[in-house]
Structure 1
């Protein structure tokens, strides 16, 4: 008797998953990663409420999730100086475009997460490699990854940004500010900091608005052995996030702060697609109470 190969079995499973309705797909994924089935009709946890946002997104989400079109929103709310300069956003990535790029830059795609390629020295990079990478990104239907429905409305594009470096010549830390609306006052904010994101010692730490490190891990990031120093411009970071979160019950505002300047990264309305483990698990319920 001939048995199907492991690759064929996996291919069959992957294709079968794509046939599942969005709610079923996300519920099964939630069960696998969080350890319980989500309560879709009476959600109580942060992940459950984020999952529902994936299935019933606000009509504003697509344009503000698109990393190119969101720049208009940021420009209007807080000004051009907070935007990372764009070198090029071509309709087609060609050899001529590559030749015109500076020695260092970042290549990104606008329609999903982790579409990032850092180029510190163009002489050590090839057009063919970047073109292949760009083609792979553009052919990726990000909505199908985790059924975040607002991604369906984003037209994939490649673009090139200036490379941000801190005073040590390193990629700056990523400040992911979770903003929960709090009536008419300043939102309740928690700052998830990813350090050395593209290096060999990546860490993720969560702080409250007073820069007290809290007992929380977001998988797969491991906490640092000790808290990071309080940023000199913490209030500016928080004010920037608060302004950009106005009008939303909840949004995660991603910022960078090389040499005490503040640059906008992105807005994320469904972090982790509602299937992101939080340790300890009680924080999933605590943040769920904040997200109304």
Structure 2
């Protein structure tokens, strides 16, 4: 499947996109600090360490109660994000992973997700993740 095939399927089959989770890699000074997984409807966000340890944090939306399994290509996805972020102090890199074909697509790179206004609960995570950016 090519990227244009993914787009055309999304257009031809209006619910194609409902099966894709959005893997959002928050990169600080060339390294993944945490991974945000948004469900297809963007009503839940789960946060993970780069080693796929679940974090008990609310970010924008409540975490999904379903157990999210580690993507088979997670190491590959992290490698891509760290290469793409190598010259950027902070960037969120969004990816889509299609499990049955094991394909990875880069969706977007953003330097100011949510205009920088989204907060973590509990709020001490704001400082914790901020320290990944300023302490190096």
The structure in which a higher percent of residues are strand is 2
Report which of the two has the higher share of helix.
1
- The reply to whether residue 189 of structure 1 matches residue 33 of structure 2 is yes
CA distance in structure 1 between the partners assigned to 2:130 and 2:54 by the alignment:
20
CA distance 1:87–1:253, change in 2 (3 Å): closer
Structure 1 regions of 5+ residues with no counterpart?
A: 1-80, 89-101, 107-118, 122-162
Structure number with greater Rg is 1
Deviation at 1:216, TM superposition (A): 1.4
Using structure 1 for the length normalisation, give the TM-score.
0.41
Of residues 39, 45, 56 in structure 2, which corresponds to 1:215? Answer: 56
Q: Retained in 1: the 8 A contact 2:97–2:103?
A: yes
Does residue 1:105 correspond to 2:10, yes or no? yes
Q: Distance in 2 between matches of 1:227 and 1:256?
A: 18
* Aligned twin of 2:4: 85
Q: CA deviation at 1:86?
A: 7.7
Is the contact between residue 24 and residue 36 of structure 2 (CA under 8 Å) also seen in structure 1?
Answer: yes
Q: Which runs of 5+ in 2 are unaligned?
A: none
Specify which of 249, 269, 286 is matched with residue 89 of structure 2: 249
Q: For this pair of structures, how many residues does the alignment match?
A: 132
Instruction: State the shift of 1:287 in Å.
Output: 1.2
Shift of 1:257: 0.4
> Is the aligned partner of 1:278 residue 2:120?
yes
Cα distance change on mapping 1:87 and 1:173 into 2, 3 Å? closer
Distance 1:269 1:85 in 2: 25
1:120 paired with 2:13, answer yes
Deviation of 1:164 (Å): 5.9
Question: Structure 1's 285 and 174: CA in aligned 2 closer, same or farther, altered over 3 A?
Answer: same
**Residues 98-135 of structure 1, C-alpha deviations (whole Å, 9 max, x = no match):** xxxx6x434xxxxxxxxxxxx525xxxxxxxxxxxxxx
Q: 1:84 to 1:225 in 2, by over 3 A?
A: same
**1:178–1:253: 8 Å Cα contact kept in structure 2?**
yes
* Structure 1 residues 87 and 264: CA distance shift in structure 2, 3 A: closer
TM value normalised by structure 2? 0.83
Deviation at 1:237, TM superposition (A): 1.1
Cα offsets for 1:126-165 (capped at 9, x unmatched): xxxxxxxxxxxxxxxxxxxxxxxxxxxxxxxxxxxxx966
Q: What is the SS of the residue equivalent to 1:178?
A: strand
State the 1:188 CA deviation: 3.6
Q: CA RMSD in A?
A: 2.6
